[in-house]
Chains A and B, each alone.
Chain A
Amino acid sequence: MTQRGLIVLVCVIALAAALRVAIGPAAAADGSVHLAFGVASGEILALRTNAALSAGLLGCVLGLSGLALQVLLRNPLASPFVLGISSGAGFGVALVLALAYTLSIPAMAFGGEVAGAVAGALATLAIVAWLGRAREGSDPTTLVLAGVIVGAIFSAGTMLLEQLVPHGLRGDLLSWMAGRLPEIPSRAAFWTLACAAAGGWITLAARAGALDVACLSDDEARSSGVDVRRLRAMLFIVGGTLAAVAVAYAGPIGFVGLVGPHIARRLVGSRHAALVPASALAGAALLVAADAARQAIDLGTGRLPVGVVTALAGGPAFLWLLRNRARSGA
Chain B
Amino acid sequence: MSATASDTLISARDVALSYGAVRALDGVSLDVPRGAILAIVGPNGCGKSTLLRVLAKLADGAQRSGEVVIAGESARDPSSLTRLRAFVPQRPEVSADFTAREVVRLGRHAVGASESAVARALDAVGLAARADLAFHTLSGGERQRVSIARALAQLDDPSKRAESSAVLLLDEPFSGIDPAEVARIVHALRERAARGAVVLSLHEPGLARAIATHALVMRAGKAIAFGPAATTLSAEILTEAYGHPMVESSAWLVPSLSAGGSIRS
Interface residues of A, Cβ cutoff 8 Å to B: 74, 136-137, 209-210, 212-213, 215-217, 219-220, 222-227, 265, 269-271, 329-330
Contacts and interface: CB of A to CB of B under 8 A. Distances in A.
Interface of B, helix, strand, loop or mixed by DSSP: mixed
Interface in B63-90: 78-79, 81-82, 85-89
Given A137-B95, A216-B93, A329-B136, 12 more contacts: A74-B95, A213-B109, A215-B94, A216-B94, A216-B95, A219-B56, A219-B58, A223-B86, A224-B86, A224-B106, A225-B111, A270-B98
A36 B127 CA distance: 60
A215 B98 contact: yes
Contacts, number: 85
A219 B102 contact: no
Nearest to A75: B95
Give the one of B95, B102, B137 with max A CB within 10 A.
Answer: B95
Nearest to B80: A225
Give the one of A213, A216, A265 with max B CB within 10 A.
Answer: A216
B220 to A, nearest CB: 22
Contacts of B79: 225
Given A225-B81, A226-B110, A265-B97, A219 B136 contact: no
Interface string B232-252: 000000000000000000000
B151 interface: yes
Contact of B87 (A212, A219, A226): A219
Nearest to B106: A213
B96 A224 contact: no
A265 B96 CA distance: 10
A54 to B, nearest CB: 31
Interface of A, helix, strand, loop or mixed by DSSP: loop
A326 to B, nearest CB: 12
A271 B105 CA distance: 11
B87 A223 contact: yes
Contacts of A215: 94-96, 98, 106
B11 interface: no
Contacts of B106: 212-213, 215-216, 224
A65 B216 CA distance: 48
Interface string B37-57: 000000000000000010010
A237 to B, nearest CB: 20
A6 B231 CA distance: 62
A277 to B, nearest CB: 16
Interface in B113-160: 134, 136-137, 147, 150-151, 154
A22 B157 CA distance: 59
8 contacts: A74-B95, A136-B93, A212-B98, A216-B94, A217-B89, A225-B81, A269-B97, A270-B97
B92 interface: yes
Contacts of B98: 212, 215, 270-271
A-B complex: 3 closest residue pairs judged by Cβ atoms: A225-B110, A225-B82, A223-B87
